[in-house]
């Protein structure tokens, strides 16, 4: 819950600083962690989201594969480009066929 609050605060701060609300550049990288796989989302080449563990899932578990981490990062970017909150729910993981 704490990480969701930070993301929402950062997201609100970003749009209050950018009158147009437009992203110049959104991209992601995936990386291996002791828990599995994670991802970073960069907005205008600045780290915006650092996700070392699977969101919305109880406990500390990483994604099982690099592809799973990438698919969630792509969904986050899609939502950001469409001015939606960059949050992930269990139903999102289910729709992406990610094992929890």
pLDDT for position 65: 97
Has residue 10 got a pLDDT over 60? no
Q: Are 30 and 37 in contact (CB under 8 A)?
A: yes
Give the span between the Cα atoms of 67 and 20, in whole angstroms.
Answer: 32
Q: Residue 22 pLDDT > 80, yes or no?
A: no
- pLDDT reported for residue 16: 47
Query: What does pLDDT average to over the chain?
Result: 85
What pLDDT sits at residue 24? Answer: 79
Of the candidates 43, 82, 50, the one whose C-alpha atom is nearest the C-alpha of residue 69 is 50
pLDDT band at 100 (very low <50, low <70, confident <90, very high): confident
Which one, of 14, 67, 72, 16, lies nearest residue 43 by Cα?
A: 14
Answer yes or no: is pLDDT of 6 > 60. Answer: no
C-alpha angle 2-32-60 in degrees, rounded to nearest 5: 35
Question: How many whole angstroms separate alpha carbon 4 and alpha carbon 25?
Answer: 22
């Amino acid at each position: 819950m704490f990480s969701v609050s930070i993301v929402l605060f950062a997201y609100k701060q970003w749009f209050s600083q950018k009158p147009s609300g437009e992203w110049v550049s959104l991209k992601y990288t995936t990386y291996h962690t002791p828990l599995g796989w994670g991802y970073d989302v960069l907005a205008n080449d600045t780290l915006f989201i650092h996700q070392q563990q699977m969101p919305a899932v109880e406990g500390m578990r990483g994604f099982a594969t690099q592809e799973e981490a990438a698919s969630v990062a792509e969904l986050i970017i899609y939502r950001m480009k469409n001015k939606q909150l960059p949050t992930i729910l269990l139903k999102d993981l289910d729709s992406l066929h990610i094992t929890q």
